[in-house]
Amino acid sequence: MPNPALPPIPLVSGALMPKVVYPDQDHLIQSRDSNFIFGSVGNGNATLTINGVAVPVQPNGSYIAFLPNPPATQPTYDLVAVLNGDTARLTRTVRLLPVMPALALDGPLTVDSSSVVPNTRLSLRDDDQVWVSVRAPGNAGVSWMGDSGITAPLVSDAPVSGSYAGDPDRWATEIAAHFLRKPTQLVITRGVDTVRLVLPAVAVAPTTPTYGMLGALPYPGPPVNDTDRVIIARPTAGGTYKWLLMPGTVLRMTGANGDFVHVSLGDELGAWVKSEDIKTLPTGYAPRPRIAENARLLPVAGAVDLRIPMSSRPPYLVEEDDHKITLTLYDTRANTDILQYVSNDSTVRDVSWTQETNDRIRFTLRLSSQAYGYLAFWDGSAFVLRIRRPPVVNPQKPLQGLVIAVDPGHPPIGATGPTGLYEADAVLDVGERLRDMLQRRGATVVMTRTTRGAVALADRPIIARRANAQALVSIHLNALPDGVNPFTTNGTGAYFFQPQSAPLARALQNGMVSRMHLRNLGVYYDNLALARPTWMPAVLGEGAFIMMPDQEAALRTPRFQTAYAQGIADGLENYFRSLGRQ
Ligand SMILES: [Zn+2]
């Protein structure tokens, strides 16, 4: 059914020439049951079958289908396009995930000896928990046996994630590293059968203090001082981002798991960083204890600084709450008798601090409104948390005088539609229209890209921050991961990561939905590079799905490109107007 809100799809009556845009030849399909396939046949009057299933062809010759995966015995999509008695065929070969058949519930006991986890080199402290797992039949008994005869059961309904998800035969438990210092065994039994598998020993984490410097610079040497580079630290190896630390921060290294190094944040708290992000310092290196001296609140242009003098960069965490910012400094002691601050600051109402544990300090800043933006940096002798003041907005002309960063997404990478429209080209058209609209409404626009040439993902937020932009909007077109039905999941969505950006994401979403008239998929929290900046509200729009034939065709028209740009411009204007009213 054509969407009446979209421009009509034009008729194309070219030569019959079936093409598959997705999946690529030899693509490894990531789903186990069904997947989508899209492309074009070159003529809107043609008919098409794929693996015998009739697939609608749009007037411009494009198609998309959501089909059962082809069988492992013949992993191909066979396309047959017919026009006026002429037939054209195309075969697209793909690869399928290895089948994971359920292990037999009878007969001789069979287990999967290659499935034992852990399977990487581990170096851990005694109390660190190790995920121990194996594939075994659902009606077996599975237990771990330590070297002193101590045992623990594995269970078949333990939560599993990542590549282990969806495996009905996965048994698992957690064992403290202390019990795994020698090779131990997994014992699988059923009836009279018993299978024993060896679990490799877990090495002891270094006991002599070993320190490393984040940022992987040669030592000695000046650590980089670039506020735009952060090192990501995570609560679990390979897990989600939690801390964004400064290059040059020195941390005690307390373990390893594959490509991740465990570091101490003091007082029993640890985190994981990628091994490439930390450079081991020479043996015997011992950092001076870090003491936070008297903190001060200092107004600077457009912002106010909380300045905390100390001897070296601390690991830290900034958390935002409604009208509040909390700063935690790890591995740092306070010698903060007097907290000097300007008592009538219009942005920061009040600062308080507590020594939370022996070596952890927490500062709490009460703000007069929701945080607008902040930046943490090291100035050579002090840790500075710079709190940005919201811009002064004229409610009649909300964008007047503001600096807006517009980021047309990609290249590199990016999605491609059924007739070959490339996401990066389409969003550049939208971005240029948006730039003109914002300029007409009085804003100064900074484009991260004005040509088809590639701009590195990491450079784009830096362009916005260096321009001191008051908002950053990244423009994209969506495509789905393998296995998701595109007919039920397509439309308009907006993404944010920092709480301070949520109001702008909601305004952007409302603007896009009311101008583009596609399904409202809502506002999402997602850890995207263009949504991570903290210095300004930063959001990402996925206005339409380029993989859908009708939306791709619409994106080729000035009318729909304008609608997308207008939706974003309206969203920005409404967001800043609401700031002006506060
Ligand atoms: Zn994109």
Please give the distance, rounded to the nearest whole angstrom, from the Cα atom of residue 76 to the centre of ligand 1: 28
Distance from Cα 426 to the centre of ligand 1, integer Å: 11
Residue 430 alpha carbon to ligand 1 centre in Å? 13
Distance 405 CA to ligand 1 centre (A): 17
Gap from CA of 291 to ligand 1 centroid (Å): 45
- CA of 62 from ligand 1 middle (Å) equals 21
Q: Are 245 and 328 in contact (CB under 8 A)?
A: no
Question: What does the pLDDT read at residue 236?
Answer: 84
The Å distance, Cα 178 to ligand 1 centre, comes to: 45
Q: How much distance in Å is there from the Cα of 425 to the middle of ligand 1?
A: 11
* pLDDT for 221: 42
Residue-level pLDDT at 225: 43
Distance 412 CA to ligand 1 centre (A): 10
Whole-number Å distance, alpha carbon 541 to ligand 1 midpoint, is 9
Which CA distances in Å does 496 have to 131, 428, 441, 469, 508? 32, 21, 24, 17, 11
According to the model, what pLDDT value does residue 224 have?
Answer: 42
Q: How much distance in Å is there from the Cα of 27 to the middle of ligand 1?
A: 20
Q: How far is ligand 1, taken at its centre, from the CA of residue 492, in Å?
A: 13
Q: Residue 176 C-alpha to ligand 1 middle, in angstroms?
A: 42
**C-alpha span between 473 and 475 (Å, rounded):** 6
Q: Are 314 and 374 in contact (CB under 8 A)?
A: no
Instruction: Give the distance (Å) from ligand 1 centre to CA of residue 408.
Output: 9
Query: For residues 305 and 384, what is the distance between their CA atoms, to the nearest angstrom?
Result: 6
Both tokens of residue 250?
């020195």
Residue 546 Cα, ligand 1 centroid: separation in angstroms?
A: 10
State the distance from the centre of ligand 1 to the C-alpha of 415, rounded, in angstroms. 7
Ligand 1 center to 413 CA (angstroms): 8
Helices assigned H by DSSP within 320-422? none
Q: What span, in angstroms and rounded, lies between the C-alpha atoms of 158 and 34?
A: 27
CA of 121 to the centre of ligand 1 (A): 36
For residue 383, what are its two tokens?
A: 């840790």
- Ligand 1 mean position, distance from CA 478 (Å): 6
Calculated CA dihedral for residues 398, 469, 376, 308, nearest 10 degrees: -70
Centroid of ligand 1 to alpha carbon of 423 (angstroms):
7
Q: How far is the CA of 388 from the centre of ligand 1 (A)?
A: 29
* Cα 75 to ligand 1 centre (Å): 29
User: Which pLDDT value is given to residue 342?
Assistant: 57
Q: What is the pLDDT of residue 378?
A: 93
Give yes or no for a contact between 42 and 49, defined as CB atoms under 8 angstroms apart: no
Rounded to the nearest angstrom, the distance between the alpha carbon of 401 and the centre of ligand 1 is: 29
pLDDT along the chain (582 residues), means of 10: 84 97 95 94 98 98 97 96 97 88 86 86 84 92 90 83 71 92 94 92 83 68 54 86 90 89 88 92 88 91 94 95 94 77 79 90 92 92 95 95 98 96 98 98 98 93 94 96 93 95 97 97 92 95 97 98 98 94 64
pLDDT for residue 218: 41
**Nearest Cα to Cα of residue 517 among 542, 544, 478:** 544
Ligand 1 midpoint to CA 474 (Å): 9
Q: Please list, in sequence order, all residues whose beta carbon lies within 8 angstroms of the beta carbon of residue 172, skipping any fewer than 6 positions away.
A: 117, 131, 132, 133, 154, 155, 158, 160
pLDDT at 341: 61
